[in-house]
Structure 1
């Protein structure tokens, strides 16, 4: 049986400093996990420091590392640093992403390349390196988007560049099964974080709210338990993308 609990496990979280990643870091630390907090930009350093301190105050251990994961070499470095520090990595969670809401006809090549590198390329090499590094019976969880189940315009690069992660999840689940590693993806609906609001007008925000149960956006507090479940009791789920969005979209 591949089921594990979180005590004394090492959890690496890409984008683990704030918002969804920050809450995953704290909640897994409460269960006794050691946390590797990855972040990308200088502006996020203070949030990463706060998250590391919060984990330590909970009685666990953590460290942060700043890397641009659109470069495959940096993904390799992330997992190496984690293993060098804690001796192992058991669970790898990738929350990295970037949203662009723009008409298809107006999207530039530079915008496409940037979105593709952040949402697609980095996810591919994260899953690849996790498969090489994780202990037996490890867990790989990618955060995608519920737009993968939507029939809509304006998110061609965001949803389009997240879509391949569904297949990476299936392919890796088959290839890593011999090590007992489960590979899953979670697609939240529009989340009530700054990540969402920067691309939306007030009218669009109200529309997105109207599409979910209770007339609300997805809360990060609703997604974290799903990630925790997939990392423990949900070990038998693999190769799947779970759209967790209060009825916002389905397939």
Structure 2
């Protein structure tokens, strides 16, 4: 018997990285998962990996409100409420203050803040009482990494929204928490560093400076997502759990 038998989960950005690892883990423990991603091939591959009978894929971009509506229309068509919502979809790139453009700012905040906000807002009628809402933040919100300002600011907004929504949704018993990863080896995360040489240099830097001595895996972050989704974390509310190998803790 799994922790999520009979439960329904929605995971944005669920076709790769932490989103896919989370969807796979929740499905392995009994949930039916709905995932949304921007690329048809990746979403199809993710559904195949998770299992056609355990996952439903939707093609879409969370920064587009109509795509979010289509996601929840698919949930309604299955006739179920949402027990777990993981707002994971995000974009990242390094751009200095001097080089920041309206287009860059709109892209980062369009997905990471506006898309996340409407993902949660539009889920409200479907969320079951005592549902778990998990927002994926980043340790970047606490740091001053050069040329990462817009991304860091967007993730600081995620942390702030979690506090507000914790208060607003408490009467329904809905818990809101944040998972803040860093140094997780995902395709999107590594691509943000540039070419293969830059990514390799970053891995060496992490190995030399992070207490855990290595980068983390998507599965390690997914385990924390599953903990927050489960009754085991019933008294964890409004929290921000770091999954960073100790990088921001010492």
Contact 1:10 1:86 (8 Å CA) reproduced = no
C-alpha separation between the residues in 1 aligned to 2:38 and 2:149?
24
Query: Equivalent residue for 2:241?
Result: 242
Q: In the superposition, relative to structure 1, how do residues 112 and 34 fare at CA in structure 2: closer, same or farther (>3 Å)?
A: same
The alpha-carbon deviation at position 47 of structure 1 amounts to 2.8
The alpha-carbon deviation at position 83 of structure 1 amounts to 2.2
| Equivalent of residue 222 in structure 2, options 218, 221, 224 | 224
Query: Equivalent residue for 1:155?
Result: 148
Contact 1:149 1:250 (8 Å CA) reproduced = no
Query: Equivalent residue for 2:94?
Result: 101
The alpha-carbon deviation at position 86 of structure 1 amounts to 4.1
Q: In the superposition, relative to structure 1, how do residues 15 and 102 fare at CA in structure 2: closer, same or farther (>3 Å)?
A: same
Partner of 2:21, secondary structure, is helix
The alpha-carbon deviation at position 15 of structure 1 amounts to 1.0
TM-score, length-normalised on structure 2? 0.90
Q: In the superposition, relative to structure 1, how do residues 80 and 70 fare at CA in structure 2: closer, same or farther (>3 Å)?
A: same
Query: Equivalent residue for 1:137?
Result: 130
| Alpha-carbon displacement from aligned partner over 1:61-81 (angstroms, at most 9, x marks no partner) | 321101121123332332232
Contact 2:35 2:57 (8 Å CA) reproduced = yes
C-alpha separation between the residues in 1 aligned to 2:66 and 2:88?
19
Q: In the superposition, relative to structure 1, how do residues 86 and 27 fare at CA in structure 2: closer, same or farther (>3 Å)?
A: farther
Query: Equivalent residue for 2:43?
Result: 48
- What are structure 2's unaligned runs of at least 5 residues? none
| Alpha-carbon displacement from aligned partner over 1:120-154 (angstroms, at most 9, x marks no partner) | 11111112223332111101111111112223322
Point out 4+ residue stretches in structure 1 off by more than 6 angstroms: none
Contact 2:129 2:172 (8 Å CA) reproduced = yes
C-alpha separation between the residues in 2 aligned to 1:199 and 1:178?
40
C-alpha separation between the residues in 1 aligned to 2:237 and 2:67?
26
| Equivalent of residue 36 in structure 2, options 34, 38, 51 | 38
Is the counterpart of residue 188 in structure 1 residue 181 in structure 2? Answer: yes
Partner of 1:97, secondary structure, is coil
C-alpha separation between the residues in 2 aligned to 1:18 and 1:199?
15
The alpha-carbon deviation at position 180 of structure 1 amounts to 0.9
Measured on the aligned residues, the alpha-carbon RMSD in Å equals 1.9
Contact 2:23 2:35 (8 Å CA) reproduced = yes
